[in-house]
Structure 1
Amino acid sequence: MTTGRRVGVGGFVLGLAMMLVAFNLRPALSTVGPLLGLIRETTGLTAGGAATLTTLPVLCLGLACALAAPVIRRLGPDLGVLTGTLLVAIGLALRGFGTLPFLFLGTAIAATGIGFANVLLPALVKRDFPNSGGSMTGLYTMTLCLGAAAGAGAAVPVERALDGWPAALAVWSIPAMLAAIAWWPYARRSGPAKPPQVGRLLRNPLAWRVTAFMGLQSSLAYILFGWLPLLLQGRGLDPLHAGLYASLVTLCQAPGALITATLAARARDQRGWIVGIPGITGLAFLVLAFGADGLRIPAACLLGFGVGGCFGLALTLIVLRAADAGTAAGLSAMAQGIGYLFAALGPLAFGLAHEATDDWGVAGLLFFGICVSAILAGLPAGRAKTVSATG
């Protein structure tokens, strides 16, 4: 992968295409939670099956990220993003068949595509926008969060309009296909690229610290994707309003990601952000889950800002800690591949804790504990150092 690529007049259009891809990297995940109760009711899906359904995409994300190096070697990063976007569209379409096997299969395929694009986009930011990495990371992370919010908020209204959850899940394949079409001209810009030497990163403590922070903060987001609507329904909200609150949380991730990524990239180091943003996230979740009803809206906004900020911060760390674009691809693959595999334990443990206690108390403490762990694990990654995996 070449470094220091200068983006010419088409840089703005390239950025728009990147944003369109980013928008489609979360509806596959955020649309299931608001409809999970209906899916269980109409298919007979058990509580264990529901926990598996919320965990499966995170596992597939991790496996796809681990395969990113062969993708870079065979296809190149640009064509790799196109391949990932097409897999997202195909997986979403398969969920429209309305049976549990196709629901699980489509979810796995879509999540695999998301994993490929997730890994490669930070490397492309490092390569194509070398002088504005923080701003571009914030912009595409913000757009990604907007896609997640659109999926969460529209899930129940679209289900009612289309008279069924299969169509409500499959309809998101249309914008994903449009994103693939928009990216098509850029998929031919470069051929196969030499992948980074991942072994160097696996022996580097800094790379592991970035990976730990990525995995822990990711588990927070996927817990909310899978379980927040049901938690709010347990507090007395109907499915529509629970979905709208989940959408508000997800919508507020956008400014959180943009502001945090942009400002953190300009800071001398990122340790203050690593303490503050996960701390805000944990406190806001406790208020939303167990606090007074009158605090529900501000807590939802603050929770969304915090979760979005955590994600934007994690991606910013990948860009800042990597010495070059090739290393950014390798560090992204390591941090997201290993990180997502461990993050998969978050929604699974959260769901099992709720199922075992028939309450949300233990599960809520688990969420807060993950926030504290993210702070402790991420602090060393906030120092202004870099790692190289090329040459």
Structure 2
Amino acid sequence: MRKKIKSSGKHLGLIIGILLIATSLRAPFTSVAPLLESIRDDFSLSAARAGVLQTLPLLAFALFSPLAAGFGRRLGMERTLFVALLIVVAGIVIRSCAGLAGLFGGTLLIGLGIALGNVLLPGLLKRDLPHRAASLTGLYALTMGLAAALASAVMIPFTTFFHTGWSSALLMTLALPMVALIVWLPRLKRDPVAATHGAAHPHAPARVWRSGLAWQVSLFFGLNSVIYYIIVSWLPAMLQNLGFTAAQAGSLHGVLQLASAIPGFFIGSIVARLRDQRVLGVAIALTGAVGLTGLLMLPVLATLWVVLIGISTGAGIILGLAFISLRAGNAVQAAALSGMAQCVGYLLAAGGPPLAGLLHDRMDGWTVPLTVCTLLALAQAVMGYLAGRQRVLVSE
């Protein structure tokens, strides 16, 4: 009985630590958007350079994600996650305190730290809580989204109430990784080499890139990501082009963010109950396709379409992360698959918004970009069916 209670306490501490790390995996960079105009004014940044600032974290995710599994094997997952939080802390401080170079350099460091955390959390769940990985993926995705929404919401009120600038507001996000560091500190006592079982699977990262199933998981995650970042970047402009006022477009953009958080309450538990995820993968993607088509064909019902798009992309992120744990045969393989999926996903995500903007300029409207997004959602449905089959990488 005492052993069972001790085990439950150990798992509770692990879950709390994972959720606290999750609060630091989106908020430090999404909190920049509300303050972007103030940042531009302070440094006289062009729109293009401000766009680079917003894209830097996505590029960091893409570039550093494939390296995270290797660090996890060498240092141990616990220690690598601790280092990731330290890098995020350093990035936040440098971004707020070191001028223009620090703004870009600190943002890149934040992206590096978040990339390590993004990749290793699915592997940690696969290793320590394999039977609860799907439901806990939904929970930490929800925590990540709520922390990001809260951080974004308080940026402007903070600067107004305390009569301070953007740098102080962004420095406030330091609280999230600092709390996570303190709570995670006891996890460092774990043996880093034995904990990851790295020696037993030295070639896992190379193998996943040659796996058809790994590509199906990666493309499901990637197509969902590119749709999400195109819509989250351009929805206000799309809506204004369709006849909505700037205030209405801004409100609907908030509805999109809220709707994308909703699946975190239920998708994880649904995934955990299913024998396979084919129907769910197809349904999530087709929901997005319906929303995108509706926005194009019947914009008067924009609120409905925006909610559908938000639910689809939010659920797609969670299912994509769950696929990483479900399709991997062991923790090292899960980390390698996570690195591959997030590399592919964020490369697509980083290129999506500029390409959509280019199509808008060339075609003088949003019809073609929205049509392309709809086709991407249909392709995502195919990947969802394939990735949702009850298979694991070790059987290939």
What range describes the TM-score normalised by the shorter chain of this pair? 0.7 to 0.9
Identity of aligned residues (%): 35
Residue aligning to 2:340: 334
Contact 1:122 1:332 in 2 (8 A): yes
Q: Quickly say closer, same or farther: Cα 1:323–1:80, change in 2 above 3 A.
A: same
Contact map agreement 1:269 1:384 (CA 8 A) in 2: yes
Q: Quick one: structure 1 residues 233 and 274, their matched pair in 2 at CA, closer, same or farther if it must change by over 3 Å? A: same
Q: 2:207 and 2:135 mapped to 1: Cα distance?
A: 28
Query: Normalising to structure 1: TM-score of the pair?
Result: 0.86
Query: Could you say which residue in structure 1 is the equivalent of 2:279?
Result: 272
* 1: CA distance, partners of 2:45 / 2:297: 28
- The CA distance in 1 between the partners of 2:208 and 2:130, in whole Å, is 21
Equivalent in the alignment of 1:213: 220
Partner of 1:203: 210
Residue 109 of structure 2 is matched in structure 1 by 109
Shift in CA distance, 292/228, structure 1 to aligned 2, threshold 3 Å: closer
Give the drift of 1:185.
1.4
Distance 1:345 1:368, change over 3 A: same
Confirm or deny that 1:249 pairs with 2:256: yes
SS at match of 1:384: coil
CA shift in 2, pair 1:389/1:269, >3 Å: closer
**In structure 1, what is the equivalent of residue 389 of structure 2?**
383
Q: Partners of 1:125 and 1:370 in 2: how far apart?
A: 30
Q: Secondary structure at the match of 1:268?
A: coil
Alignment of 1:33-112 (within 5 A): 33-97=33-97, 99-112=99-112
User: Which is further off, 32-41 or 144-153?
Assistant: 32-41
Higher Cα Rg, which structure: 2
Given that residues 27 and 144 in structure 2 are in contact (C-alpha distance below 8 angstroms), is that contact kept between their aligned partners in structure 1?
no
- Counting only pairs closer than 5 Å after superposition, residues 330-369 of structure 1 correspond to structure 2 as 330-354=336-360, 359-369=365-375
The 2-side partners of 1:278 and 1:371 are apart by 5
Aligned AA for 2:369? A
Change (3 A) 1:302 1:190: farther
Moved more, 105-114 or 159-168: 159-168
* 1: CA distance, partners of 2:296 / 2:47: 20
Letter of the 2:178 counterpart:
M
Q: C-alpha distance in 1, partners of 2:367/2:264? A: 28
- Change over 3 Å in CA distance of 1:362–1:165 after alignment to 2: farther
For residues 69 and 24 of structure 1, the distance between their equivalents in structure 2, rounded to whole angstroms, comes to 19
SS at match of 1:199: helix
Distance in 2 (CA, whole Å) between partners of 1:92 and 1:244 is: 29
What residue ranges of structure 1 are gaps of 5+ in the alignment? 1-5
SS in 2 for 1:72: helix
Deviations 1:65-87 (A, max 9, x none): 11113311321111111111222
Moved more, 377-386 or 283-292: 283-292
Q: Write the distance in 2 (CA, Å) between the matches of 1:164 and 1:287.
A: 41
Given residue 35 of structure 1, which amino acid in structure 2 is its aligned partner?
L
Aligned residues: 382
CA contact (8 A) 1:212 1:339 kept: yes
Shift of 1:226: 4.0
| Alignment deviations for residues 325-346 of structure 1 (CA, whole Å, 9 cap, x no partner) | 2221121122112332233211
SS at match of 1:344: helix
1:335 maps to a residue whose letter is A
Measured in 2, the distance between the counterparts of 1:366 and 1:142 equals 28
Q: 2:316: which partner in 1?
A: 310
Q: 1:171 to 1:276 in 2, by over 3 A?
A: same
Change (3 A) 1:184 1:287: farther
Give 1:124's aligned residue.
124
Superposition pairs for residues 219-238 of structure 1, below 5 Å? Answer: 219-228=226-235, 235-238=244-247
CA distance in structure 2 between the partners assigned to 1:50 and 1:352 by the alignment = 17
DSSP 3-state at the match of 1:203: coil
Q: Which piece of structure 1 moves more, 311-320 or 229-238?
A: 229-238
Cα distance, 1:321 vs. partner? Answer: 0.7
For residues 18 and 87 of structure 1, the distance between their equivalents in structure 2, rounded to whole angstroms, comes to 17
Per-residue deviation, residues 176-197 of structure 1 (Å, max 9, x unmatched): 2212222121133231341742
1:229–1:151: structure 2 CA closer, same or farther, 3 Å change rule?
farther
Structure 2 Cα separation of the partners of residues 66 and 122 of structure 1: 14
**Alignment TM-score, normalising by the size of structure 2:** 0.85
Cα distance in 2 between the residues matched to 1:364 and 1:41? 32
Mapping 1:15-26, distance limit 5 Å:
15-26=15-26
The 1:7/1:304 distance shift into structure 2, 3 A limit, reads: farther
Equivalents in 1 of 2:171, 2:9: separation in Å? 36
After TM superposition, the runs of 4+ consecutive aligned structure 1 residues lying more than 6 A away are none
Q: What is the distance in 1 between the residues matched to 2:30 and 2:173?
A: 11
- Residues 252, 304 of structure 1: 8 Å contact kept: yes
Deviation at 1:35, TM superposition (A): 3.4
Taking only aligned residues, the RMSD between alpha carbons, in angstroms, comes to 2.9
- Point out the structure with the larger helix share: 2
Distance 2:322 2:18 in 1: 16
Could you say what secondary structure the match of 1:323 adopts?
coil
Q: Name the counterpart of 2:173.
A: 172
Query: 2:135·2:271 contact (CA, 8 Å) conserved in 1?
Result: no
Once the two structures are superposed, residues 173-231 of structure 1 have per-residue CA deviations (whole angstroms, 9 ceiling, x without a partner) of 22222122221211332313417422221221111111111212122333345444565
Is contact 1:277-1:310 (8 Å) kept?
A: yes
Structure 2 residue aligned with 1:3: none
How far apart in 1 are the matches of 2:224 and 2:88? 23
Seen in structure 2, the aligned counterparts of structure 1 residues 244 and 129 have a Cα distance that, compared at 3 Å, is: farther
Change (3 A) 1:247 1:47: same
Counterpart contact for 1:63–1:337, Cα < 8 Å: yes
